[in-house]
Structure 1
Amino acid sequence: MRIAGYEFAEGVRFQPGAEKDAKLVGEHLEMLRQRYKGELTPEDVLDDARHDNSPLHSFFEWNDGAAAEQYRLQQARGLIRSVVAIYVSEDKPAVRHRAYVHIREPSAPHYRESSHAMSLTKTRKLVLQQAWRELQAWRQRYRDLKEFAELFDVIDEVEKHLKPPRKH
């Protein structure tokens, strides 16, 4: 099997216009992989991207102050996503759930307490849309693994009976 081309995965966010660079980036990453005997590491990619003439250079923030702030924001996102709330009630055993869910409102993406987000029609729809996109992306990523064929069949069956949440 050979690679026929490259594109960026659905939902990735780069600077405007970067989508046209997918072919160049893919080819360059493949060249690096071959250079390093079939293995590609983030360190190899970053080392190459440091050079101004690398096609990967513009995908990185080279201002150390801005990069540090972006990294800290990524750490903050990870921290928010890592918190699990333990919900209790008198008549049921304790239940563990993610405390916060990401709400991808175009004008103001943010996190909201999970049960509150799921109790509101608008935010529930946004969360379900994102969950469905992630399930479809996961399925696409692992579509060639025969070990998951039965699971894919279940997803197909669910899709027939459940109208998946979609954007309008």
Structure 2
Amino acid sequence: MMRIAGFEFADGARFQPGAERNAKLVGGHLEMLRKKFKGELTPEDVLADAKHDNSPLHSFFEWSDTEAANQFRLQQARGLIRAVVAIYVSDDKPAVRQKAYVHIAEPSAPHYREASHAMSQKKTRQLVLQRAWRELQQWKQRYKDMKEFSDLFEVIDEVEKHLPASSKSAH
């Protein structure tokens, strides 16, 4: 039987500003909660524990109801933007359904742009491709031990050979 040897935070994990980022402490505490609740860990149990000031999970949450409500609404707005699909038409081709907006992760001003416009500009196209590649690599890493996806992993590795280096990493 396998056992947990330690804890780390996943690549790309985002937390409240100022949150204590000790993965070993947080992972150990979550594991203690899981055992306390007979092997099942729920968001409700985590939140109930985190409400206590002395919990190592406390700093990962926004405790101002006003600010938390605003953050939740911003998350809903992001979800709404991501959910919209545009139907593109032209005289010589059948209609095409495509995600209407893509996220542009510019460090100074992250935002969304209309997808075809973003892909027609060199800088934003590169940012979109880099993000897509990073997300694909994270997915591959998350499921690397599932033999059912081995054929797909081979295709991803083959695509990587033909993808320009600028599409795989930020400059």
- TM-score, normalization: structure 2? 0.93
Residue 95 of structure 2 aligns to a residue whose secondary structure is strand
Q: For residue 31 of structure 1, what is the aligned residue in structure 2?
A: 32
| Counterpart Cα distance in 1 of 2:18 and 2:67 | 18
Tell me the CA shift for residue 163 of structure 1.
3.0
| Counterpart Cα distance in 1 of 2:34 and 2:134 | 29
Residue 109 of structure 2 aligns to a residue whose secondary structure is coil
The aligned runs of 1:45-124 (5 Å cut-off) are 45-124=46-125
Q: For residue 11 of structure 1, what is the aligned residue in structure 2?
A: 12
Q: 1:18 to 1:127 in 2, by over 3 A?
A: farther
Structure 1 spans left out of the alignment, 5+ residues: none
Q: 1:121 to 1:10 in 2, by over 3 A?
A: same
Q: Conserved in 1, the CA contact under 8 Å of 2:19 and 2:59?
A: no
Matched to 2:132, the amino acid is A
Structure 2 spans left out of the alignment, 5+ residues: none
| Counterpart Cα distance in 2 of 1:161 and 1:125 | 15
- Offset from partner CA, 1:128-156 (integer Å, 9 cap, x none): 00000000000011111110011111111
Over the aligned positions, Cα root-mean-square deviation in angstroms equals 1.2
| Counterpart Cα distance in 2 of 1:146 and 1:16 | 39
Could you say which structure has the greater relative contact order, defined with CA pairs below 8 angstroms and 6 or more residues apart?
A: 2
What count of residue pairs does the alignment treat as equivalent?
Answer: 167
The share of aligned pairs that are identical, in percent, is: 75
| Counterpart Cα distance in 2 of 1:88 and 1:17 | 47
Moved over 4 A (4+): none
| Counterpart Cα distance in 1 of 2:20 and 2:143 | 25
Residue 88 of structure 1 aligns to a residue whose secondary structure is strand
- TM-score, normalization: structure 1? 0.95
| Counterpart Cα distance in 1 of 2:86 and 2:151 | 32
Q: For residue 148 of structure 1, what is the aligned residue in structure 2?
A: 149
